[in-house]
Structure formats: structure tokens, C-alpha cells
Structure 1
Amino acid sequence: MINSPDPTNLTDIRNLDLVATVRSGRVLVAGAGVSGRGAIAMLKDIGCPEVVVVDDSALGALVAADFSVRHVTTADARDELADAVAIVTSPGWRPTSPLFDAAAEAGVPVFGDVALAFAGDCAQLWGPKRTWLVVTGTNGKTTTTSMLAAMLGEQGAAVGNIGVALYDALTAEPRIEVLAAELSSFQLHWAPNIRPDAGVLLNLAEDHIDWHGSYENYGLDKTRALRGTVAIYGADDADVVEHVEKMLKNDELGNSVVGFTDGPPEAHQVGVRDGMIVDRAFGGGDAAADDSGPGIVIAPVAGISPPGRAGVLDAVAATAMARSIGTSPEQIAAELETFEVRAHRGQIVHKANDVVWIDDSKATNPHAADAALSGHERVVWIVGGQLKGAEISPLVAKHAHRLQAAVVLGVDRQLVSDALSRIAPAVPVVVIDDTDKVDAMAKVCMAASEYANPGDVVLLAPAAASLDMYSGMAERGDLFAQWAQKVTSTDG
């Protein structure tokens, strides 16, 4: 195992009283973005005597002025460490930052805004402690969190990477009782103290390895979501199961460990049987309930948005999380029936001539594209962009049988085309060489429409990043939706 490039003593941080620590002296806030602003506001509420913003951009000075605190650059921040008691970092700052190396030498602990928010809430600084439900994984976080927030009704809200910013959620009126928190591996790395009421680890695939130092460390940071009262894990994901088994062996989990699956659930699982989501873990609304019987039928999987296996798994995971705090089957079923997936995450954007056009532009790596492809029998696949070194051949091999055609675009189009030609030579492949983002997508959709037959799905699941041609995955998906409608407007 490669050791995490982490300059902080995590054991000490876990045992620290963070509220007392930040009340005792100067605190540096690394980063002046949304997380940094929230951290400053929390520190002000907690009673920190001195806050110093560390940021090299012009935004840093503006934010510092807004809060009437000092601002320094990263080059000058080391001089502030002598009298500092902590650094609260924005999640994007790497553990290998020279500032954090200096902090380690000075004995100054480093943690994130999530750690501070959790500590403050546990200390009841903003009223009685809230219920924390943490969602993480390589793919599917946003859809699962959105589903969960819908199931919670008026008592809950999506927070963290989507929805309401953490500080705003903690100070909201009317009060938010349950926080459905989507947390990234970065946020969890900087929150070693977090112990949610329930946490779910959806899946694992290689991502952000340069930041974490190794795939093992990436997974370990993700598993922090499982260190609370109820641990819910993807029972169909071999890497997740391996981490959970190690944690059980090392006595790092409580007694409430629940799997979720898209197959028939075993005891202590939530899964799918005869087309219905079935709970065999939370019979009485808690993980200690008797789960020896056939289980509680929750809701049908037919009609779940987004369609396909990935959507079903997200729905089952969200159901398990909601059931962990006693949400009724009736409420869960009602929300799943009306839930609409967020844009670019398996969203149906057009239907024409019995062909369904689906935007899964968020599938920016092979793992996400695998989940997207798995849900459909006959696919015209739109693929390509920045592979960032990812190997696409296994993905092509796994799904060649369902491909009616492939339309390839983006900077790494030749790599994708070569893999298709080598592994699936019977699949028609159209390569779009145009690098103008609008013209390229127009040609992509025209080519896809020519190969799509009734009953097919035209699926944008690029398995690659978008920044070679687009401002982001949202712009890529939006243009796909626009041209899907335009190229079929005169058909039939």
C-alpha cells in the first residue's frame, strides 16, 4: 500500500475538540471560494478570535474584506503559522501543498469545512444536532443524493456538492432537520472526524489518483462515509466489498452494516425482487430490526428515472438510506414515482420514431459509461472526448453485443475508434473529426439518427471528459439535446 501524502496527524485530528481549538487562536482559511466563505462564517459563529484568508487570487482580498478579516497570499501564509491553531482548507487543496507541509512541521492541524461543520453541529452551535446522511462513491452520487432528499420531504435537503451550502443549511430558517450530504473524496479526506447517522458508499473506480496518491488511499478516504451509526455499501461492487470486509475484520464498523443490490436481497440488504424494491434490513426502521423474513416491499423499479441499471441502483441506495432513519415505504414509493433525474445524468431529452435519446454527459469515465450502457439492450453510442489515460478497451468488449453503432468525437477519438475496430469490428463506427463544438455535435446527432432504428436508444455516455471541446459536461449535454430534436424534427 502506498501511504497517503497527508501531512496531518489524522489520529490527533479525530481526537481534537475542533470547536475549542478554533476558539483558542488564529485560524487560517485556505481558499476563498464557496467552501472558504462558509468556513469563515462558521468560524465567526463559533467565536474564533482571528481569521486569516489564504488565497492568491483577487477573490481572496474581496472575500476577506466582506468578512472584515485579513488576507495573505500562500507565500506569506507560512509566517502566520507561528501563532496559528488550525488551518481550515477548501477541499480542492492537495495534501502535498507546501503550506500543509509547513503546518505539519509547526504542529498545526489541517481539516476541512465539512469537519468544522460536523463538529459545530455536534456541539449544538446552531441548535440541536441534525441528522447527517452522507452519500459518496465514484459515480451516481448526485442522483442518489437528489433521490434521498426528495424522499426526506420537508424535513431534509440536499447539501454539500449539490443543493444548499453547508453553512447555509446549518443556519437555515425554517430549520433543516436532515442533511442529505453529497461528499467527494476530497471533502472526506479533510473530514476524518465525520460520523454520520448513516453513510453510503455506492461504488469505486479509479479516479483522482494523483490527488490521493493511490487507488487504495482514494478508497480509504471514501470509506469515511461508513464510520457512523449505519454503514450502507454497494454489495455488487467488488472493490467496495473488499474495503467493507477489511473494515469489519478490523472492527472499524458498527453493528449496523447493510448492503444494497439490484438483485434479490439477502438478510441485512435492500434489493430488487420480482421487479420491486424490497427492504430486508430495516424492518422496523432501524438496522437492528429483524430481517429474517421476506422483507418489506417498497416500490416498483419500472419507470425509475434515470432508466437502466444505474438508475435502479441509485434508487435502491437512496431507499436504504431513507429507511435507515425510518422513512415510510409509502413516502419513498411516492417520491420515486415522480422523481426526475437531474440534467446530464441519464436524462431522456428526446423521443422520436420510437427512438429514445438519453443524455448521460456526466459519464466522464469508463466506469460511469459502463453503468449507463448496462441499462439498455440496443444502443447507438456517442463516445469520446478526453480519456485522460483511461483504458476504454474493456468497456468496448463488455458492451459490444448491445452496440448498433458508435459515433466518436473528441481529442482522443482515434484511440476510441481503434478500440472499437479491434474489439467490435462488426459495429459500424462514424468518426467526427470536426473540432467546432456546435458543428461536431450536429454531425454526431445526424450520424446517430441515421443508424438508430425503432426500439434503439441513442446514448451520450462519452466515457471521457469534455474540456477538449466544451466548457464542461453540461454544455456538451445541452448541445446534444438541442441537436437530437433538430435532426429528428422532419422525420416521420
Structure 2
Amino acid sequence: MDQPIAVRDLDTLTSWNSEWGGLKVAVLGLGASGFSAADTLTELTADVLIVADAASDNRIEMTQVIGATLALGGSAPEQVSALSAHMPDVVLVSPGYPRDHLLLEWCRTAGIAMWTEIELAWRLRDKTGTPAEWIAITGTNGKTTTAQLTAHILSTAGFRAGAVGNIGIPVLDAIRYPDGFDFLVVELSSFQLHGMPRHGAGAISPLASVCLNLADDHLDWHGSRGAYAQAKATVYANTKIAAVYNRAVLATQSMVEEADVIDGCRAIGFGLDTPGPSDFGIVSDLLVERAFHDDRHNEAVELFTLDELRQRNLAAPHMLANILAASALTRAAGVSVDALRAGVASFEVDPHRNQLVLHRGGVSWINDSKATNSHAASASLSAVDPVVWIVGGLLKGVDVAPLIQQHAKRLKAAIVIGTDRLAILSAFERHAPQIPVFEVDSTDTEHVMPRVVEMAHGIATEGDTVLLAPAAASMDQFESYADRGEKFATAVRERVGGSGDDTSDVPTATPTA
């Protein structure tokens, strides 16, 4: 096979105004980030080939509009042939491509540079003039909520701020926004971080960064816990002002200690305990700061009271941690304490993250469909007792047995859904045989949640919480975690919302064998 020969010095491509014309680029994948990369590069008059397994009709049509070439479908060897014929100078890899994919193996063998859309966006961040400062956020859980809250606080303080990246808005779309931004709050997944350089022209240098927490997730993709943690640690590289870490998760502190940051960058801890100097934390019923005020060695500045946050359904332990992390990031960005308070006071939690759908007959129905792994589900379970737990989906190689052991005492019952039901049922049988466990094995996705809610309604009594916190991905039965959450909420409103306190007509569920 003929191997491409690099003809461009990629290290010179560090600005929107660099010479991008004629650069031969291949974009792997035609999802949101892949199309955004192709759209950006064709605007820069690069020669763009898109290689994708599948794409929507709209994306195919838009590919023709922007002037990119599309190689759609075909076997992996056929895609390699298309890539080889294009002879790219650089390949843009969409998040989630398996590390051992034949296309990536070919690029490595051929010595072709592989970038993520994050690296490309960093190189192009000056399109509208003075580049926005970046605030980088990762972690196994809480990324989206913390990114949204951070951007909201910055906006409340009068800055032009946007939450982008893994949150759903491609960074490349944001850097081309005509009016520009003061801050981009960039949510980064482990997939995105895995492919990002820590040094060189494409290495990002955020104003502030945080790894919120670390627990087993996506181990099937990364191959090991160590590889997953190493990817997450990339978030701290080249941080300028504040590397924020979770005092309760020693791994995040180690990441900061080992990070190659900019001189003068400070390590800022957050946690639900008493803070030391340079920390955020909790004293009695107050969330406080001892990091960015003049007398931090002797005094703490009050930020919020727990009662204030309880009134707004923001006092669950994991939410308090998110608030403290966002407070640290925004204070590092120069936000005043008054603006910080105003931002949190006006913040609304994203749907599907500990969303109270209904409280009827003394039973609370909570949608935490975004709890797609054990760590997130554990946070949700820790906040309720007793609970009817809806669990299951795609486990992504993670063992749920420790989660079941940890929370068995608070479980009234469990309802198991999804493709990987057998592993969950087996874990209950081994570690919590006293818990009634019910199984919904419907392959008709439209009827999964109505059946789940019917079962839960027959189990839950006054004082109970029915909690959808699946500890698993959703794509086996639903389009996304949002689709799963919407279907749950709809089923709850239809089945429970109109029934008042009368449960006499609800059939009694029978535990699975």
C-alpha cells in the first residue's frame, strides 16, 4: 500500500489566519463534531474527505453543500482505501472511535497526525479576534451540570460565556460564533481527552480546569482503569490560574500534583468537609470559600446556606460538590462573590439529572436517567431512602455488584431493564438476595417505561422514592439518556399523575426468579 507523505508543517497552523488552504484533511465520523470539523475546514478552503459508516440524509445533503467529499459506508478495508487515495496531511478523529479501529491503525502506521476537534478548535480560537478563555471540565459524573452552572454564573456576572464540547454544542461552532465569547466552558469526555496532546501547538491551555471525580466507566473502550484515569488527567495540562480537584477523591489531587501547569497556577480543593486555605467546602450549614480573598489563611467567605440550596432542590451531596467546583472555577475567572450567589440562585438543573417528576400519594418519582454509570447512580441512591430502584441498560464493562452491596439496605425493591439484565440479576442474587427484584424484558421500547412505572406504582407506598438511576448507558433500548428519561417521565405522568392517592387498581408485581 502506498503511504502518504506529509507535505505540510502542521505546527504552523496555530491561527484562523494561518495558511489552511489546500490542506488535505480526512474527517472520521459524521456526527455533530465530525460535521462541524468538516464545515470549519471547508470554510478554511482545506481539501476535506469525510469517511463515515452512516449518516442522516440531512448530513449527507449538507456535506454536498459545504463542498466536502463523502465516503459513506463500506467495509473497513474499503474505507482505508478511500483514506489512502486522499493522502491526508492530517486526520480528524471523532470521539468514540475505538483505539484499535483499522482506520486509526492505518494512520499510525502511515505516520499521519491525528487530531481531535478540540485540538482543531484550540488552533482556530482567534477567528473573531481576541480568543475566549477556556475553562475545562471533566470527571466521571457531574460534568454537564457543572459546565452549565459555570457558564450560567459567568453569564450572570456579565460575561459572554457558553457551555460547549461534550455537552452537545461543538467547540468549533462556538469559536465561529460571530459575536465571540469571553469564556468557553468546555466539557470534555474521556474519549476527547484520550486523543488530546499535552504539549505542542495543539495542546490547550485553559484558564482553570477540574476533574470532578473518578470512578470506573468506559473501561471496555479504554482497556484499563489506569488508561481511563490517564486520559482524565489530561484536563490539567497547561492550566494557567487554577487546577481544581476533589479533596474526597485522592486520584484527582494526584493528577494535579503530577500535572505540567503554567507557572503561578494554584491547586484549589473542594469538598463537603471543612476547607483549608485555598479550598472551598462546608462549615456547619454554610458553603464557604478560603481561596480567592485576601485573608484566606484566617477567614472563610460565606457563599450559600444549605437551607437556601435545599429550597431549590440543590442540596444533594453530589450537587453540592458540583456547586463548589463551579464556584472555584468562576472565582478563578474573576467572578465576584455577589455575582456567584446570583448565578447559583437563578440556576435550573438540567432535565434528567435528579429531576423530580411527580410527588403523589406520598411517593416521589425521580428521573436521573443521566446516571449512566455506577458512580452517578450511587450519588442518587445516597440521597433517598427507602427506594424502588430502576436499573439497567448497557453496563459498558462495569461490575454493578459493589453498587448493590453499598446500597442494599436502602432498597425496597429493584426493577431491572435493558440488555445487560442478567449481570444485574446475578449480582442481586449473590449480594442482596433479600431484595425483591423485578424484570422488564420487553423488546418493544415504547412499552418498557409504561411497564416499569406500572410495576413501581404497585410496589411503592407512602414515604418511598421511585428512582430511575440506571447505572448504565441507554442505547440498547432508547435513543439517548434523554429519550429514556422523557419516556419515564411521560409514563409517570400518564399512569400516576391522574390517580391521586388511589392505588387499589394497581396490580401487584411478582419478583423475578
Which TM-score band applies after superposition, normalised by the shorter structure? 0.7 to 0.9
The TM-score with structure 2 as length reference comes to 0.82
1:6 alignment partner in structure 2: none
Tell me, yes or no, if structure 1 residue 141 matches structure 2 residue 131.
no
Cα deviation per residue 1:275-309 (whole Å; 9 max; x = unaligned)?
2221112226xxxxx53123221123432545521
Question: Structure 1 residue aligned with 2:484, among 458, 470, 476?
Answer: 476
Letter in 1 for 2:133: T
1:188 alignment partner in structure 2: 193
**1:310 and 1:375 in contact (8 A); partners too:** no
**Structure 2 residue matching 1:239: 3-state secondary structure:** helix
Q: 1:445 deviation in Å?
A: 2.2
Q: Distance in 2 between matches of 1:23 and 1:396?
A: 56
**1:160 and 1:182 in contact (8 A); partners too:** yes
Q: 1:344 deviation in Å?
A: 1.3
Tell me, yes or no, if structure 1 residue 446 matches structure 2 residue 454.
yes
**1:265 and 1:272 in contact (8 A); partners too:** yes
Q: 1:341 deviation in Å?
A: 1.6
Q: 1:114 deviation in Å?
A: 0.9
Map 1:130-279 → 2, pairs under 5 A: 130-153=132-155, 155-162=160-167, 164-192=169-197, 193-227=203-237, 228-229=239-240, 230-245=242-257, 247=258, 255-279=265-289
**Structure 1 residue matching 2:496: 3-state secondary structure:** helix
1:10 alignment partner in structure 2: none
Change (3 A) 1:270 1:58: closer
Q: Distance in 1 between matches of 2:287 and 2:204?
A: 29
Q: 1:389 deviation in Å?
A: 3.9
Change (3 A) 1:446 1:253: farther
Q: 1:81 deviation in Å?
A: 6.0
1:7 alignment partner in structure 2: none
Q: Distance in 1 between matches of 2:355 and 2:261?
A: 41
Cα deviation per residue 1:428-475 (whole Å; 9 max; x = unaligned)?
433445554444433432332344343332211122233343333223
Change (3 A) 1:369 1:14: farther
Question: Structure 1 residue aligned with 2:381, among 373, 384, 409?
Answer: 373
**2:160 and 2:183 in contact (8 A); partners too:** yes
More helix by share: 1
Q: 1:139 deviation in Å?
A: 1.3
Q: Distance in 1 between matches of 2:361 and 2:10?
A: 58
Q: Distance in 2 between matches of 1:349 and 1:56?
A: 38
Letter in 2 for 1:55: A
Q: Distance in 1 between matches of 2:277 and 2:482?
A: 40
Tell me, yes or no, if structure 1 residue 30 matches structure 2 residue 28.
yes
Letter in 1 for 2:251: D
Q: 1:426 deviation in Å?
A: 4.2
Cα deviation per residue 1:18-42 (whole Å; 9 max; x = unaligned)?
4558557322222333222322343
Q: Distance in 2 between matches of 1:462 and 1:104?
A: 37
**Structure 2 residue matching 1:469: 3-state secondary structure:** coil
Letter in 1 for 2:127: L
Q: 1:15 deviation in Å?
A: 6.6
Letter in 1 for 2:500: D
Q: Distance in 1 between matches of 2:272 and 2:194?
A: 29
Identical residues among aligned pairs (%): 35
**1:305 and 1:311 in contact (8 A); partners too:** no
Deviation larger for 300-309 or 378-387: 300-309
1:410 alignment partner in structure 2: 418
Change (3 A) 1:57 1:478: closer
Query: Which runs of no fewer than 5 residues in structure 1 stay unpaired?
Result: 1-12, 285-289
2:120 alignment partner in structure 1: 116
1:67 alignment partner in structure 2: 66
Letter in 1 for 2:123: A
Letter in 2 for 1:79: S
Cα deviation per residue 1:300-340 (whole Å; 9 max; x = unaligned)?
34325455212111111111111110112222222322322
Tell me, yes or no, if structure 1 residue 55 matches structure 2 residue 63.
no
Q: 1:182 deviation in Å?
A: 1.1
**Structure 1 residue matching 2:293: 3-state secondary structure:** coil
**2:243 and 2:268 in contact (8 A); partners too:** yes
Tell me, yes or no, if structure 1 residue 340 matches structure 2 residue 337.
no
Letter in 2 for 1:135: I
**2:26 and 2:83 in contact (8 A); partners too:** no
Q: Distance in 2 between matches of 1:251 and 1:335?
A: 29
How much is the aligned-residue C-alpha RMSD, in angstroms?
A: 2.9
2:104 alignment partner in structure 1: 100
The TM-score with structure 1 as length reference comes to 0.86
Change (3 A) 1:88 1:438: closer
**1:22 and 1:86 in contact (8 A); partners too:** no
Q: 1:135 deviation in Å?
A: 1.1
Query: Which runs of no fewer than 5 residues in structure 2 stay unpaired?
Result: 1-8, 73-78, 198-202, 502-513
**Structure 2 residue matching 1:244: 3-state secondary structure:** helix
Equivalent residues, number: 469
Letter in 2 for 1:172: Y
Question: Structure 1 residue aligned with 2:402, among 380, 394, 397?
Answer: 394
Deviation larger for 177-186 or 453-462: 453-462
Change (3 A) 1:444 1:25: closer
Q: Distance in 1 between matches of 2:97 and 2:434?
A: 46
Tell me, yes or no, if structure 1 residue 85 matches structure 2 residue 89.
yes
